[in-house]
Amino acid sequence: MTKILTLKNVSKTFTVKKSRAYSTTHALEDVSFDVEDGEFIAIIGASGCGKSTILRMIDGLDFPTRGEIRLRGEIVTGPGPDRGVVFQQPSLLPWRTVQRNIEFGLECNGMAAAERQDRVAQYVELVGLGGFEGHYPAQLSGGMQQRVGLARAYAVDPGILLLDEPFGALDAQTRVVLQTELERVWRAERKTTVLITHDMEEAVYLADRVIVMGNRPGRVTDIIDVPFGRPRGEELRASAEFGELKQQLWRALQRGMGVGVA
Ligand SMILES: Nc1ncnc2c1ncn2[C@@H]1O[C@H](COP(=O)(O)OP(=O)(O)OP(=O)(O)O)[C@@H](O)[C@H]1O
Ligand SMILES: [Mg+2]
Residue by residue, pLDDT tens for the chain (262 residues) are: 789 999 999 999 999 888 888 889 999 999 999 999 999 999 999 889 999 999 999 999 999 999 999 999 999 999 988 999 998 777 899 999 999 999 998 888 888 999 999 999 988 988 888 999 999 999 998 888 988 998 898 888 899 999 999 888 788 888 888 899 889 888 888 899 999 998 999 999 999 999 999 988 999 999 999 999 999 988 999 999 999 999 999 999 998 877 654 4
- Is residue 47 included in any domain, yes or no? yes
**Residue 133 shares a structural domain with residue 259:** no
- Is residue 250 included in any domain, yes or no? yes
- Is residue 29 included in any domain, yes or no? no
Domain that holds residue 140: 91-157
**Residue 61 shares a structural domain with residue 111:** no
Q: How far is the CA of 61 from the centre of ligand 2 (A)?
A: 14
Which residue, of 125, 157, 189, is where some domain finishes?
Answer: 157
pTM of the model: 0.92
Ligand 1 pocket, mutate which of 18, 25, 213 (most atoms under 8 A from CB): 25
Q: Whose CA is nearest to atom 31 of ligand 1?
A: 48
CB–CB of 55/196 below 8 Å?
yes
**Residue 223 shares a structural domain with residue 252:** yes
**Residue 120 shares a structural domain with residue 171:** no
- Is residue 178 included in any domain, yes or no? yes
Planar angle of CA 180, 38, 98, nearest 5 degrees: 50
Q: Whose CA is nearest to atom 26 of ligand 1?
A: 47
Q: How far is the CA of 166 from the centre of ligand 2 (A)?
A: 11
Q: Whose CA is nearest to atom 1 of ligand 1?
A: 14
Give the full edge-to-edge strand order of the sheet including 192-197.
Answer: 83-86, 160-164, 192-197, 40-45, 209-214, 219-225
Rounded to whole angstroms, the Cα distance separating 146 from 148 reads 5
**Residue 134 shares a structural domain with residue 210:** no
**Residue 143 shares a structural domain with residue 244:** no
**Residue 95 shares a structural domain with residue 222:** no
Ligand 1 pocket, mutate which of 13, 23, 51, 85 (most atoms under 8 A from CB): 51
**Residue 197 shares a structural domain with residue 252:** yes
Predicted confidence at residue 98, as pLDDT, reads: 95
Taking Cα atoms as reference points, which of 110, 133, 111 lies closest to residue 121? 133
Residues 6 or more apart in contact with residue 167 via CB below 8 angstroms: 143, 146, 174, 175, 178, 179, 197, 199, 202
Ligand 1 pocket, mutate which of 14, 18, 194, 221 (most atoms under 8 A from CB): 14
**Residue 106 shares a structural domain with residue 45:** no
CB–CB of 54/10 below 8 Å?
yes
Q: How far is the CA of 231 from the centre of ligand 2 (A)?
A: 28
Looking at ligand 1, which atom is closest to the CA of residue 55?
A: 18
**Residue 179 shares a structural domain with residue 228:** yes
CATH of the domain at 232: 3.40.50.300
**Residue 187 shares a structural domain with residue 138:** no
